[in-house]
Amino acid sequence: MIFSRGSKSTVGLDIGANSIKMVKLNHTKGGYAVGALALRELPPEAIVCDEIRDREAVIFNIQSVTDECDLKAKDVVVSISGHALITDKLVIDKKTGAEAEQAILFEAEQRSPFDVDDVALDHHVIRINEETNKMDVLLVAARKEFLASFLGLVKDCGLHPVAVDTDAFAVYNAYVNNYEVDPNRTTVLVNIGHDVTNVLYIHDGYYHSTRDLSVGTRAIFNAIQQEFRLNHELTTRAIQGRTEGAIDQDMLKATIVSASEEMINSLELAFNYFKSQAKTEAIEWMVLSGGGALIPYLPEFVQSKLQIPLEIFNPLRNVEFDPERLEGLEPEKIAPILAVPIGMAMRKVR
């Protein structure tokens, strides 16, 4: 979906603010199998709030994961999120073909804060209600200037972007391919990245809406670094829970909790807005992914503050992989940060 152009395998390339992840999934009769997996952490400040500040470092690390995955074909699916992206859900009369395209374009012109000539548009029919003769349509708009720059970066790495997804929908795709969607339960998928947190709601068994929040783990990283006076490498170990007793755990927990308050407030506001729009009293289940899912004490704090049962997302739940081929990566432990690239790699592109 989302701006795409099958093969038996698909490669998802996740260019995050903190790291580069690449996953190649083989599409088998039984489902999916990991063909290759690679991850590289980026230098500090290489990417900040969607702005690439160290282009050479980003390209070097993308090429490194590409080499490690030993790709024969250079086709990849990539994803975007943040300020350059707008998503909206439309409810229009059931239409097909050119008539549907025209109706959706008209609605986009009315809703988009950008000039429609300045954005790339795509849409996806979520569901059709035969009783009311209406259809729910997901509208996605990305600024052409940002999209051209982003795709230019990928092409400069010697890769060929065959589809552009969004982080939130990639997580959603990974979720529905690994878990049963309960139509009687409102579920929120929360993907906590370094600078952006993607929030996506599943209501009545279907996608309802999504929102990108300008909060992430960077504030926690900076707080730990300042509190314990650590260099970048040691701070990374601390935020990943790999300090091996070198740091006072009570102080670490207090630092993480304090630095997470803005994130919690943003999530609470987003959840309240959703409940008012969806006319529902509660969100019954939360699924946590991204780097935030791996930070010590953070998942428990999120659950206690928001009072929603929570589980850590495992996008490898229904995916076959050979641990020996992925030696050193411990995919079971890092699985939550693979939600986006796995969700992209689960797509069939043409």
In this prediction, residue 72 carries a pLDDT of 84
In this prediction, residue 330 carries a pLDDT of 77
The ranges assigned to domains in the chain are 1-84+146-178+314-350, 86-140, 181-313
Cβ 309 vs Cβ 332: under 8 Å: no
The model scores a pTM over 0.95: no
Closest by Cα among 136, 144, 16 to 85? 144
1-84+146-178+314-350: which CATH architecture?
2-Layer Sandwich (3.30)
Instruction: Tell me if domain 1-84+146-178+314-350 and domain 181-313 are identical in fold.
Output: yes
* CA gap 336, 298 in Å, rounded: 14
Is 3.30.420.40 the CATH classification of the domain at 181-313?
yes
In this prediction, residue 82 carries a pLDDT of 85
Phi (first) and psi of residue 7, to 5 degrees:
-100, 170
In this prediction, residue 323 carries a pLDDT of 77
Low-confidence spans in the chain with pLDDT less than 50: 1-6
In this prediction, residue 117 carries a pLDDT of 79
CA 301 to chain centre: 21
Contacts 24+ apart (CB under 8 A), 266-275: 266/197, 266/213, 266/214, 266/215, 267/190, 267/197, 267/199, 267/213, 267/302, 267/306, 268/305, 268/306, 270/199, 270/211, 270/213, 271/188, 271/306, 274/188, 274/201, 274/208, 274/209, 274/211
| Per-residue tokens: 225 | 């670094």
Cβ 37 vs Cβ 24: under 8 Å: yes
Closest by Cα among 331, 316, 245 to 38? 331
Phi (first) and psi of residue 92, to 5 degrees:
-130, 165
Q: What CATH code would you report for 86-140? A: 3.30.1490.300
| Per-residue tokens: 103 | 């109706």
